[in-house]
Amino acid sequence: MDKFTRIDGLVAPLDRANVDTDAIIPKQFLKSIKRSGFGPNLFDEWRYLDHGEPGQDCSNRPLNPDFVLNQPRYQGAQILLARENFGCGSSREHAPWALLDYGFLAVIAPSFADIFFNNCFKNGILPIVMNADEVDRLFKETVATEGYRLTVDLEKQLVTTPGGHGIKFEVDAFRKYCLLNGLDDIGLTLQNADKIKAYEERCKIEAPWLFV
Amino acid sequence: MSAQTLYDKLWQSHVVHTESDGTTLLYIDRHLLHEVTSPQAFEGLRLAGRKPWRLSANLAVADHNVPTTGRAQGIADPISRLQVETLDDNCASFGITEFKMGDVRQGIVHVIGPEQGATLPGMTVVCGDSHTSTHGAFGALAHGIGTSEVEHVLATQCLLQKKSKTMLVRVEGALGMGVTAKDVALAIIGRIGTAGGTGYAIEFGGSAIRALSMEGRMTLCNMAIEAGARAGMVAVDDTTIDYVKGRPYAPKGDLWDQAVTDWHTLVSDADAQFDSVVDLDAAAIKPQVTWGTSPEMVVSIEDKVPDPALESDTVKRGGIERALAYMGLQANTPMTEIKIDKVFIGSCTNSRIEDLRAAAAVAKGKKVAANVKLAMVVPGSGLVKLQAEQEGLDKIFVEAGFEWRDPGCSMCLAMNADRLEPGERCASTSNRNFEGRQGPGGRTHLVSPVMAAAAAIAGHFVDVRQLQGS
Ligand code: SF4
């Protein structure tokens, strides 16, 4: 998992409440044997005019011109601005995989569904809970200003607008530590690598038949 | 030190590190892999630039998607084929030993581990598959894990775990003729229910368990998960050690002697305390048949389909009614009057040599009934198949009208081409009778291998004891 410290990123506004994980990545893509490569199918049903199937080349599918992520001004966005209850529905970890593969590193919303919220941290995405008025203000500024960017500083727990307005956010201390250090569960366990090696050395003496 | 259960001993000997809240980093000795739950784990490793911690701890095999006929033509379904090819590629690129489809050692992951001696007493064994509990038959701590844990084990050789409670299921006395480990497993689940073991690691003990062969113990531990327990286990004795001896992955020479001394300690201490104890009388267990859509919906062959009207609990009554509707059964029908369309002898529960011998003994010199459209025998591994053929079991089956197939999971979960059509009724030696498990709309009755063979001959369920007695 990559470290998350501070980003200065283009913002894309997704102005809908209750965006569920089936919308984020529709179920037909779960047959995949991969956890990468979901980016082209992020929001598949909203993004394209035709029906998507796994394994398709998405580059020549008809794009829905009305879908916000298809507008040229939002290409390369790293911060997704969203409404209430983002990520509700099925627990599929494919949803954060798809967001990450598309290029999003942070999602700002007034509230998130619980499992999705957890899954984001496991995959190095920062979900930021912000009060609805602030989110609303960011929506307005994003739409009004082409090339609107925000800085997200995890260490300081601060989102800053181009106008210099700073918005503090809360994050669980342990999760913050993991993100700042790029530690997933495996990364955390590997901090105990010396203990694992010591265990193996002891075991090689006590139960050598397990190491042939 | 105070008296310990087998589970306590296995747990304690694998602790690498314990956090203040009891979360424990547990060392994993053996990691088995198959094609369905491993691809994202390998990809996660690759994305993070990690390598397997200890290659020699891993062993992989394709089993869920492989065809049981016409292997020379490869796998027809492209999605199945891709999963199997992905396993091949991942094992090749990371350097993990894999038994491929053409290898005589290929088979169901829970059959080949023990068969190869890759499952040893005292080990922790995990696999991205819930029936990993099977391996507990060897006095090992074995349970299923999810895909993110598969990646965790690959990368660290450890798992983050919290300790379970312990349950002793004690079966004393002698099993009657025609009554097998499968019947014991179903009788236990019928008694404690499919959630009865939730949160527990179950140890199966008592004289009836000690009298079981390793095949029988594996059948029993296989179904621990159907009782809600992630792990089931049986203490080590001479039966265990005799089975392991001489297998390809088992220790040899001095190491063998050293190991055996250690393995003899893998029993619960006489005065060890369990959080829960369940007692069963072996002599009272009769051949079992499930009637519903959960393994706990089970009765003996002498019984009738239950009557929901007699159930006072409205939730349970609703459950019975729904199950009977799905299964197409009338209340109070004697189990022996239920006709079947198909028979499946196989799965990680009952596809080992002893299972096939027992079924063949029932089928010998008889014919599959005319109303049975398909009776198939799917050995658990290429080596089981080979041995059965050397003993002439394949001929007995084929002459009786059974199909003799190549090894794999097959109609246990119908991920390959073997499946029930909607409404078809099957006598199956597998472990799950959930709706649609053997194909959409398919109706599964779980039974032992001898009961399945007897049903194939009669065309309906029948008490195998009467057949054997005559
Ligand atoms: S035989 Fe059935 S239960 Fe066993 S591993 Fe295969 S699919 Fe799972």
Q: Is B431 in the pocket of ligand 1 (CB under 6 A)?
A: yes
B151 touches chain A (CB under 8 A): yes
> Nearest by CB to A34, which of B27, B40, B79?
B40
B42 touches chain A (CB under 8 A): no
- Backbone angle region of A16, left / alpha / beta, with phi > 0 → left and psi within -120 to 50 → alpha: beta
Strands B158-161 and B141-144: unpaired
Q: Give me the pLDDT at residue B430, please.
A: 97
Over 70: is that where the pLDDT of B330 sits?
Answer: yes
Residue carrying structure tokens 């203490």: B235
| Ligand 1 atom 4: residue of nearest CA | B348
From the CA of A104, how far away is ligand 1's center (Å)?
38
Q: Give me the pLDDT at residue B72, please.
A: 86
From the CA of A89, how far away is ligand 1's center (Å)?
29
Query: What value does the mean pLDDT take over residues B127-149?
Result: 93
B265 touches chain A (CB under 8 A): no
Q: How far is CA B18 from CA A161, B23, B142, in A?
A: 44, 6, 20
Best of B123, B159, B255 to mutate (most A CBs within 10 Å, chain A): B255
B90 touches chain A (CB under 8 A): no
Q: Give me the pLDDT at residue B470, please.
A: 45
**Exposure b/e, B14-37, CB count within 10 A at least 16 = b:** bebbeeeeeebbbbbbbbbbbbbb
> Nearest by CB to A189, which of B25, B43, B262?
B25
Mean pLDDT for chain A overall: 93
pTM, 2 dp: 0.87
Residue carrying structure tokens 């901090």: A191
From the CA of B111, how far away is ligand 1's center (Å)?
10
Give the separation between CA B146 and CA A177, rounded to whole angstroms: 25
Over 80: is that where the pLDDT of B1 sits?
Answer: no
Q: Give me the pLDDT at residue A171, please.
A: 94
Confidence band for B314, pLDDT divided at 50, 70 and 90 = confident
Residues A4, A105: contact at Cβ < 8 Å? yes
Give the separation between CA A202 and CA A12, rounded to whole angstroms: 54
- Give, in degrees to the nearest 5, the angle at Cα A53 between A49 and A56: 90
B-chain residues near A178 (CB < 8 A): none
Pick the closest to residue A187 from B160, B152, B148 (CA basis).
B152
Q: Give me the pLDDT at residue B261, please.
A: 98
pLDDT digits (tens, 9 = 90+) for A35-82: 889 999 999 999 999 999 888 899 999 999 999 999 999 999 999 999
Q: Give me the pLDDT at residue B5, please.
A: 98
Pick the closest to residue B59 from B15, B107, B11, B131 (CA basis).
B107
Query: What value does the mean pLDDT take over residues B248-254?
Result: 97
Ligand 1: atom nearest CA of B349 is: 4
Q: Give me the pLDDT at residue A183, please.
A: 87
Structure tokens at A183: 């530690």
Residues 6+ apart with CB under 8 A from A150: A8, A9, A11, A79, A108, A138, A159, A160, A161, A162
Quick one: how far is CA B358 from the chain centroid?
A: 17
- Give the count of alpha carbons within 13 A of A128, CB side only: 26
Over 90: is that where the pLDDT of B341 sits?
Answer: yes
Could B255 and A212 be called an inter-chain contact, meaning their C-beta atoms sit closer than 8 Å?
yes
Distance from CA of A142 to the nearest CA of B (A): 33
Please say whether the dihedral angle defined by the alpha carbons of residues B444, B447, B448 and B452, taken in this order, is positive or negative: negative
Residue with the bigger pLDDT between A113 and B112: it is B112
Query: What value does the mean pLDDT take over residues A84-93?
Result: 83
pLDDT digits (tens, 9 = 90+) for B14-67: 999 998 878 899 999 999 999 988 999 999 999 889 999 999 999 999 999 899
pLDDT digits (tens, 9 = 90+) for B181-202: 999 999 999 999 998 998 999 9
Give the separation between CA B41 and CA B146, rounded to whole angstroms: 10
Best of A28, A30, A33 to mutate (most B CBs within 10 Å, chain B): A33
Pick the closest to residue A106 from A84, A87, A125, A132 (CA basis).
A125
Per cent of chain B over pLDDT 90 is 88
Alpha helices in B95-226, H assignment, sequence order:
109-116, 147-156, 181-192, 207-210, 214-222
Query: What value does the mean pLDDT take over residues B67-82?
Result: 89
Distance from CA of A99 to the nearest CA of B (A): 16
pLDDT digits (tens, 9 = 90+) for B200-228: 999 999 999 999 999 999 999 999 999 99
Structure tokens at B216: 């029988």
Give the separation between CA A207 and CA A163, rounded to whole angstroms: 65
Helix (H) or strand (E) holding A200: helix A193-206
Confidence band for A165, pLDDT divided at 50, 70 and 90 = very high
From the CA of B276, how far away is ligand 1's center (Å)?
29
Q: Give me the pLDDT at residue B469, please.
A: 54
A129 beta partners: A109
Residues 6+ apart with CB under 8 A from B113: B30, B32, B59, B119, B125, B127, B135
Cite the beta strand spans of chain A per DSSP E: 6-13, 79-81, 106-109, 126-129, 149-153, 158-160, 166-168
pLDDT digits (tens, 9 = 90+) for B369-420: 999 999 999 999 999 999 999 999 999 999 999 999 999 999 998 888 899 9
B266 touches chain A (CB under 8 A): no
B-chain residues near A115 (CB < 8 A): none
Mean pLDDT for chain B overall: 95
